[in-house]
A = this chain, B = another copy of it.
Amino acid sequence: MELSSDSEKADRRRERETGTLGKLVALLDLVALAEGPMRFTDILSLSDQPRGTLHRQLSHLVEEGLLEVDRDGRYLIGIRLLKLASRSWARNEFRAVAEPHLRRLQEVTGETVHLGVLRGSEVIYLDKVEGRQSVRMYSQIGNASPAYCTGVGKAALSALDDAKLAERIADLEFRPYTEHTLRSAAELLADIRDIRVRGYAFDREEHESGICCVAAPICSDGDHMLAGVSVTGPAYRVTSGKLQDWAPLVVATADSIMTDMRNRMGPKR
C-alpha cells in the first residue's frame, strides 16, 4: 500500500467516489426525501453546490426524466424512476418465488403479510398481501423503515453473525417512534438474542402504536441477501396469544421460501 501525503483527500476518495454519479444521486435523494416539490433555491440551500453547478446538474436530471419540473418551476421526482422500478420489481426473482407463500400465509391468518429485505440497517418492503378491506393498497411497497423497530428488520438482523451485526447497528440512532420502541443497542442486542433462540421476532407496537407483528428471517443467495416475512395486524385483533400461535406458520413460510430459492438457483457455492 502506498502512503500518500494528501491522506485526507485520498481517504475521502476511497470512501465514496462515484464522481459525477454520486453527486447526482445525492441530489435525487434530496428531492425524493423532501415533503413536496422543491424550488431551485430550496435545493440550493440544502446541497452545498454553487448555483451554476447545481443548475446544470438539475437540468441534466430533468433531461433524463429522473426529475421533473412542475409549472411553478419546482422540482420533483420524475416518473421515469417509477418505470424503472416497476420492471425491477416485476422481475425480481426473490419476490416472485415468495409470492405464493405470502398469499397462503395471508389466507391462513387473515391478516396482512409483508416481505422485506434488509439493506444496511433499513428494511425495504418488497411485497405486501392484504385481505379484502385494503385502504391504502400499495403504500408499503418500496417503503423503507428502520430495521431495529420492525419485526422483519429484527428477524433479518438476527441472522447476521455478531461481528456483522455490530457493524450495522454501530451508528444507529434509536428514535422512539412509540413508547415501546427499543431505545438502545443493548436493548436491541438482547432482543436479537431471544429471536435467535426462538427463531422468530415480535414487534409489539414498536414502530407504530396499535400495530403488532410476528416475523421470521430468510437468508437467500448464500447469505448474501437477508430478508424476512411477517404477519401484521392491529393490536386489538392480533393478541399476544395469536402472534404466538402464528409464529410456527411464519417460520415455516420463511423456510419454504428459502428452500424454493435454493432449488431455483442451484446449490452452487
Contact = CB atoms under 8 A, between A and B. Distances in A.
Interface of A: 16, 18-22, 24-25, 28-29, 32-33, 35-36, 60-61, 63-66, 70-72, 76-91, 93, 117, 119, 124, 126, 132, 137-139, 141-144, 221-222, 224, 265, 268-269
A187 B81 CA distance: 32
Contacts of A61: 21
Given A81-B85, A84-B32, A224-B71, A137 B139 contact: no
A142 B82 contact: yes
Nearest to A137: B137
Contact of A85 (B18, B33, B82): B82
A19 B25 CA distance: 15
Contacts of A25: 64, 66
A86 to B, nearest CB: 3
A19 B141 CA distance: 32
Contacts of A77: 84-85, 87-88
17 contacts: A19-B60, A20-B20, A21-B60, A25-B64, A28-B84, A36-B91, A70-B221, A70-B224, A76-B88, A77-B84, A81-B88, A82-B88, A82-B124, A82-B142, A83-B124, A83-B142, A86-B143
B18 A63 contact: yes
Contacts of A132: 132
Contact of A21 (B24, B71, B88, B90): B24
A88 B32 contact: yes
Closest 3 CB pairs of A and B: A86-B142, A77-B88, A85-B85
Contacts of A19: 20, 60
A119 B25 CA distance: 22
Given A83-B124, A85-B142, A87-B142, 14 more contacts: A20-B21, A21-B24, A36-B93, A65-B119, A71-B224, A71-B269, A76-B91, A79-B88, A82-B126, A83-B142, A83-B143, A85-B86, A86-B141, A86-B142
A109 to B, nearest CB: 18
Contacts of A84: 28-29, 32, 77, 81, 85
A138 B117 CA distance: 18
A93 B71 CA distance: 13
A42 to B, nearest CB: 15
A262 B43 CA distance: 26
A220 to B, nearest CB: 9
A44 to B, nearest CB: 19
